[in-house]
A and B are shown apart, each in its own frame.
Chain A
Amino acid sequence: MDVALKIWRFDAETGEKELRTYEVDAPEWACLLDVLDLIKDRVDGTLAYRKSCRMMICGSCGMRMDGRAILACKERMKPIVERGHVPVISAMGNMPVLKDLVVDMQPFWAKIRRMKPWLETGYEEPPEHGEYRHSQEAMNPIHKEALCIMCGCCVSECNSMESDPEFFGPAALAKGFRFVGDPRDRTKIERLESYNDEHGIWDCTRCYFCNERCPKGVDPRDAIAKLGAESIEEGIDRDLGAKHAKWFVRSAQTTGWLRETELVPKTQGVVEAIKQTKFALSLARHGKVPLPFPPHVAKDVQEARALRELVETQGRQGARGHVQGEKALSRIEHAVLADPEHAGASRQAPEETRQ
């Protein structure tokens, strides 16, 4: 089949940037990586990209296709060719581009290292007789996080990291939970303390791009939620994000609805809240600061209160509460429900601008 690609070429040394179109004849089974290999082999040997295993396990060939971070070895070209589409290929986001499709992953690795991605078992030697044994059940909670191949697709699209480049990010935090949730590790509290730092867990804006993009089903956002749940469970709640979350629990238990006006002092503290007075008054003029008294109380709110007391006795606090739903969620067939004919209604900017 004839395959056409538009590739963003870039040279960091000269700063030159150009969108070039390539056409090659490729076998029907070809994936994007195969096509790049053919282009490099037959058309232009200067094209730069990373690759190794060609089977979705090394994590080298992360790049963007039409603005979405993907693994080049996972994307089959046949359906794309059949609909006459010429995809735009570019380097991943949130990392500096070195050449063409190759990004500098040093900042990525620095963040992974910051998580101490190794087991701290607390012992040097195995026990005198035999080995330390752990049940499969005890290992299951970190099953998803252990699938990470560190390709960077999640980091590429992270909305918080675009705004705060220091954010540890989805890959590093998922790696963090892989150790926090490991029954062999003895440093859970130290890890949680460290992951609660300024650019840690509570920097996540819950945009869910990481879950959407991860080619291995790690669901990094869910891993971050597990770290948040474990932190709250262990009483590590110094961060404004944790205080914000706790106020929602308090609201649900007392009035049933969010106690919106009290959210600012409960999150940021009274002093900060007073500093925000001018802003608050500007919102109050438009009815955006509902009076906390009399409270807006949900009907039958005592049920919500009793539920909290009940679940507290059932031992599903912390990450266990997240893990319990994973089996069910893994059973969902991924399908877009609405009529695809409507897709024409979307006025999309040309793919070229979506680099």
Chain B
Amino acid sequence: VNVAYYKGCLASLSAKELDTSTQALAPKLGIGLHELESVTCCGAGDIHEAEPDYYLHLNARILAYAEASGHDTLMTICNVCTLNLRQANHMLQNDDALRVRVSENLEKVGAPPYSGGVEVKHFLWLIAEGDGFEKLKQAAHKGLKGLRVAPFYGCQILRPSKLLGFEDPDRPWSLEAIIEACGGEPVDYPAKVKCCGFPIIQAREETALGELIQPIEQSLEAGADAMVTPCPLCHLSLDAWQQKLEAATGKRYRMPILHLSQLIGVAAGIEESELKFKRHVVSVAPMLEKVEAP
């Protein structure tokens, strides 16, 4: 399957390892990526909140470029991009008058119009079932034997389920299915569906850290060797802010945090030059040492 690929801000900037590992992994899973060029930030929750009409237009423009590229699927690799684009898409697909107005505006500034012909899907969803899942089982030849992995979903790939709707937001299974297919052992803990605190980590650091501590401590207690997340914002929070949590609690966590594409990448034998674990704040080395030979 060929898809239009929207990598978003973080994978272009502080989480480049997410982009390189996704680009290396996708072809092995039968997913051809057509990277969109003339696209911008989706605005995160921020432009959505502050200037909702501008948010709608920015996201419509991304959808329009995806449609103009001839693809019917726009693939995302970030929870926030996924919710933003899906929400805008639902608004445009279900309200003709709104879509016509936005489309006309797009054309006025030189962008293509949008007719509503694109579906937005996260990379996780393309891998968790169907052809992608079959290809995953073949590609993950090196496996993750001996590794206990804590899935961390984050919020905006699950809720609101009306807009996302891939799986039960309280009993999700996709990450667990992928961990198992790669030969690892998923560990369970209640905070796997809760918030990492990232959206308010700049404005309300203390409140955000009070959220972040739950998944870190619970996954550690459940015996996880590493955590995996489909969202680069959760990744940044869990990986980079973990040291602040350690400073605040006086505890030592050192929990390695992997992007979904990196975890599968390890199982599929993708090179370090593409996985770029050196870009992580918390070392991934102890986890990699635990993986047993197939």
Contacts and interface: CB of A to CB of B under 8 A. Distances in A.
A303 B200 contact: no
A168 interface: no
Interface string A152-169: 000000011011100100
Interface in B175-209: 176-177, 180, 186-190, 194-195, 197, 199-200, 202-204, 206-209
A86 interface: no
A260 B211 contact: no
Contact of B202 (A162, A163, A240, A299): A240
A334 B207 contact: no
A347 B165 contact: no
A321 B52 contact: yes
A4 B105 CA distance: 58
Given A68-B170, A321-B56, A232 B176 contact: no
Given A159-B194, A241-B203, A257 B129 contact: no
Contacts of B187: 347
A343 B52 contact: no
B51 A354 contact: no
A274 interface: no
Interface string A261-272: 001100110000
Contact of B186 (A202, A290, A338, A347): A347
A83 interface: no
Interface in B90-120: 90-95, 98, 105-106, 108-111
A246 B49 CA distance: 10
A244 B43 CA distance: 11
A310 interface: yes
B158 to A, nearest CB: 8
Instruction: Determine the interface band of chain B, counting residues with CB < 8 A from chain A.
Output: 35 or more
A232 B207 contact: no
Nearest to A161: B207
Contacts of A264: 202
B128 A290 contact: no
Nearest to B95: A328
A67 B170 contact: yes
B289 interface: no
Given A212-B160, A343-B171, A164 B13 contact: no
B12 interface: yes
A225 B48 contact: yes
A325 interface: yes
Nearest to B47: A248
A163 to B, nearest CB: 3
B162 interface: yes
A246 B50 contact: yes
B141 interface: no
Interface in B25-77: 37-41, 43-58, 61
A182 interface: no
Nearest to B89: A328
Among all A-B residue pairs, the 6 with the closest Cβ atoms: A163-B210, A321-B52, A346-B173, A328-B94, A256-B40, A208-B159
28 contacts: A68-B170, A160-B195, A162-B210, A164-B207, A202-B204, A204-B200, A205-B208, A206-B45, A219-B160, A225-B45, A225-B52, A228-B50, A256-B40, A257-B12, A303-B109, A307-B57, A307-B58, A307-B109, A311-B51, A314-B53, A321-B51, A324-B91, A324-B98, A325-B91, A328-B95, A343-B168, A347-B187, A349-B188
Interface of A: 66-68, 159-160, 162-164, 167, 202-209, 211-212, 219, 221, 224-225, 228-229, 232, 239-249, 251-252, 256-258, 260, 263-264, 267-268, 279, 282-283, 286-290, 296, 298-304, 306-308, 310-311, 314, 316-317, 320-322, 324-325, 327-329, 331-332, 334-339, 342-349, 353-354
